[in-house]
């Protein structure tokens, strides 16, 4: 084809560039997201890949169900406490380099769900690179977040992204689920009295 002829004539055979620039350019050009659709924000996330919005223009349309094949985790929706260990485990299963987009008010700060069941911000579980406000954010905002993440990727160095898990990922012990018992252990726990009236640290911090 003609393109190769033009390039072969116009460019020399050897190019010099910084390794970071080349690798970061390759990384940012195909950020494959791992879907983590948890609530209504996931509808907007799906819509961002539709023909109207077309996230494929920025190389980020291949949503992967397997964390092993993903680069960026888009946490879209509220994270319940029961889901938090699962989310952390999926994040740990993603190979480096990996990034996290916190999509929407609930994933960012808990949103309107300021209660015992919802984690007040996914940054308590995983390190977040880009936060998106909104309830839910429009697909354009998610595309903007992907573009911001691409700019961030271009500023990184390959030395920042070793394949060894980061220290915080290594220290975290995701609480698993208890084995199935006959119910006796839970029964004992239920019988223990608990000082319900004492405000927790969490409560005191909120009220002050």
Partner 1 sequence: MASEPENNETTPIPSLEAAAPSPLVAALQREHPEWIADVIAAFGEITIVVPREHIVAACSFLKTWPESRFDFLSDICGADRGVEEDPRFEVNYHLFSTTKHHRLRLKVVLSEEDPHVPTVTGVWRTANWHERETFDLFGVIFDGHPDLRRILLPDDWQGHALRKDFPLRGYEPYSLK
- Residue 132 to residues 74, 87, 128: CA-CA distances in angstroms? 10, 18, 11
Quick check: 181 binds partner 1 (CB under 8 A)? yes
Q: Which of 62, 85, 90, 166 binds partner 1 (CB under 8 A)?
A: 85
Residue 17 or 115: the one with the smaller Cβ distance to partner 1 is: 115
Nearer of residues 52 and 205 to partner 1, judged by Cβ:
205
Binding mask 23-62 for partner 1 (x = CB under 8 A): ----------------------------------------
Is position 145 an interface residue for partner 1 (rule: CB under 8 A)?
A: no
Q: How far is 203 from 208, CA to CA, in rounded Å?
A: 9
Q: Which stretch binds partner 1 (CB under 8 A): 52-60, 99-107, 146-154, 187-195?
A: 187-195
Find the part of the chain contacting partner 1 (CB under 8 A) among 25-33, 56-64, 131-139, 166-174: 166-174
DSSP string, the chain: -HHHHHHHHHS-S-----HHHHHHHHHHHT-PEEEEE-STHHHHHHHTTSTTT-GGGGT----BSSGGG-SEEEEES--BTTTHHHHHHHHHHSPSS-EEEEEHHHHHH-TT--STTB-S-GGGTS--SEEE-SSSPPHHHHHHHHHHHHHHHHT--GGG--SSPPHHHHH-----PPPP--SHHHHHHHHS---TTSPPHHHHHHH-
Work out the number of other CB atoms within 10 angstroms of the CB of residue 124: 12
Binding mask 94-133 for partner 1 (x = CB under 8 A): --------------------xxxx-xx---xx--------
167 binds partner 1 (CB under 8 A): no
Check residue 84 for interaction with partner 1 (CB under 8 A).
yes
Residue nearer to partner 1 on the CB measure, 28 or 88 = 88
Q: Does 81 bind partner 1 (CB under 8 A)?
A: yes
- Residues that bind partner 1 in the complex, under the rule CB under 8 A: 81-82, 84-85, 88, 114-117, 119-120, 124-125, 168, 172-175, 177-178, 180-183, 186-187, 189-191, 194, 196-197, 199-203, 205-206
């Amino acid at each position: 084809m003609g393109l190769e002829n033009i390039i072969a004539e116009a460019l020399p055979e050897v190019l010099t560039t910084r390794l970071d620039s080349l690798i970061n350019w390759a990384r940012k050009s195909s950020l494959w997201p791992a879907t983590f659709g948890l609530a209504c924000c996931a509808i907007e996330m799906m819509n961002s890949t539709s023909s109207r919005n077309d996230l494929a223009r920025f190389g980020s349309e291949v949503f992967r169900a397997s964390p092993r094949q993903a680069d960026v985790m888009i946490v879209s929706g509220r994270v319940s406490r029961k889901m938090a260990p699962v989310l952390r485990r999926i994040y740990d299963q993603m190979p480096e380099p990996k990034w996290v987009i916190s999509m929407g008010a609930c994933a960012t700060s808990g949103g309107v769900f300021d209660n015992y069941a919802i984690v007040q911000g996914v940054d308590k579980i995983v390190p977040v690179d880009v936060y998106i406000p909104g309830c839910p954010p429009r697909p354009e905002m998610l595309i903007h977040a992907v573009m911001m993440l691409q700019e961030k990727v271009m500023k990184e160095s390959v030395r920042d992204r070793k394949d060894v898990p980061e220290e915080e990922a290594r220290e975290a012990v995701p609480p698993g689920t208890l084995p199935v018992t006959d119910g006796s252990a839970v029964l004992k726990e239920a019988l223990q009295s608990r000082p319900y009236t004492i405000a927790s640290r969490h409560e005191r911090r909120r009220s002050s």
